[in-house]
Amino acid sequence: MVVYLRLLKESFTFAMNALRNNKLRTVLSLLGVTIGIFSIIAVLTAVNSLDRKIKADLSTLDKNTIFLTSQSFGPTEVPEWKREQFPKVNYEEFQYLKENLNNVENSCFQFFTQHESFKYETNDVTDVNIVAVTYEFADIQRLELSEGRFFNESESNSGSAVVVLGYEVAKGLFGDIDPIGKMVRLYGRRFQVIGITKKQGMTLGIGDSNDTSAFISSNFLRKIYGDNNESMLPVILIKPEKGADIEELKGNIAQKLRNFRGVKSQEINNFFINILSGFTDMIDNIVGQMKMIGWGISLFSLLVGGFGIANIMFVSVKERTNLIGIQKSLGAKNKFILYQFLFEAMILSVIGGMIGLLLVWIIALVMTNVLDFEFVLSLGNILLGTSLATIIGLISGILPAISASRLDPVEAIRTGM
């Protein structure tokens, strides 16, 4: 064991000497490994961070949450002309399903509608995402508030002019002033601010960030615009109970809504039952494809880096032929010479890989501070980068190491003189 530790120490010394004595040649050789490791780990870090952020944004919703509406959230075989004839879901259908469905934890009624502007005294915030929902929404989405509260059942049913503002909206309207209880203007009406959401940050999930949204009662919109406004798409959100059979629940929803609407048995459903898990599966597929593309591009850089390491090791063998001959004449075994050059190649490659990892860490740190998005260089990616660099060094150094170990000591000494 001591012999191998000493061998590793000597190999590291030789590797560092190679770096010092042939700086330009070594740097150029290591550049391929550095770029390769940087490319792979940078892509994986970006994709993993993106995946983590999307999953965090979607974590507030159960992946089995059902969106019942007249529109499909994905590809469908129903032709467009027929989809345009589908009636929109309405509040009465929401109430009927809420009272008659089993295995449902909660449900709510929502309007997808246009962005609007808010005004408070001389301050105004534009392009605010209006989330018009019933009071159950806070439970379904597990909405977190930093101040105040969400509107209650009575306020929801009566369509009270109360609003819960997103973090950025409240900041733009009020600055450092306490917003709770203040009156803001929306749709030409006065709304009382009753709550502020916790800061969420940039979102990559479904729809807008809570920070740039405002939550009002869907019944308020029903009072001023009715149920058939073209600028609003009504949706019924249904959150199944844990352990519920989703396919059975979807069938139950379809049957009850068909009966309520009087759809004939030979006719297709004139609504769509969209489920969130289909969206998350699509995201997982996209993330997997991005990783594969990143690996494909980066492997070319690693291949070039491997050739660079092999080249410098062959040169190193040639330069130290005399030394190899002397070591062998003093009793060094072929295995000792083999390990010596093999370790040296691996150490050089790992140095290149560590430089690549350092660059990824620095860029991730800078990008996290510049953007409202956290790039995380995980321990798994660090270990992966180090392992890849070690493997590249092993593969690149095996042929030079074998050629060095097979040198005849007499010829090696004579050649080096």
Same structural domain for residues 25 and 159?
Answer: no
Mean pLDDT of the chain: 82
Query: What number of CA atoms fall less than 13 Å from residue 118's CA on the CB side?
Result: 27
Same structural domain for residues 95 and 194?
Answer: yes
Element (H, E) at 352: helix 334-370
Number of domains, the chain: 2
Same structural domain for residues 350 and 241?
Answer: no
What's the pLDDT at 133? 94
Q: Which residue has the higher pLDDT, 289 or 109?
A: 109
What are the backbone angles phi and psi of residue 202, rounded to the nearest 5°? Answer: -60, 135
- Give the chain's largest Cα–Cα span: 100
pLDDT tens per residue across span 119-165? 998 889 998 999 999 999 988 888 889 999 999 999 999 999 999 99
Structural domain contains residue 64: no
What's the pLDDT at 170? 92
Domain that holds residue 339: 2-57+282-416
> Is there a contact between 370 and 335 (Cβ–Cβ < 8 Å)?
no
CA dist., res. 228 & res. 222, Å (int): 9
Same structural domain for residues 162 and 136?
Answer: yes
Element (H, E) at 402: helix 379-405
pLDDT bucket at 224, cuts 50 / 70 / 90: confident
Question: Which of 4, 36, 13, 21 has its CA nearest to residue 349?
Answer: 36
Structural domain contains residue 385: yes
Work out the average pLDDT over 250-268: 89
pLDDT tens per residue across span 301-330? 777 777 777 877 787 777 777 777 777 777
pTM for the whole structure: 0.63
What's the pLDDT at 191? 94
Same structural domain for residues 208 and 260?
Answer: yes
CA dist., res. 277 & res. 280, Å (int): 5
pLDDT tens per residue across span 59-99? 555 577 889 998 887 777 788 888 888 889 999 999 999 99
CA dist., res. 94 & res. 237, Å (int): 9
Strand bridging mode 123-133 / 213-217 = parallel
pLDDT tens per residue across span 159-218? 999 999 999 999 999 988 899 999 999 998 999 999 999 987 655 445 567 888 999 999
Same structural domain for residues 242 and 354?
Answer: no
What's the pLDDT at 93? 92
Same structural domain for residues 115 and 174?
Answer: yes
Structural domain contains residue 208: yes
> Is there a contact between 239 and 35 (Cβ–Cβ < 8 Å)?
no
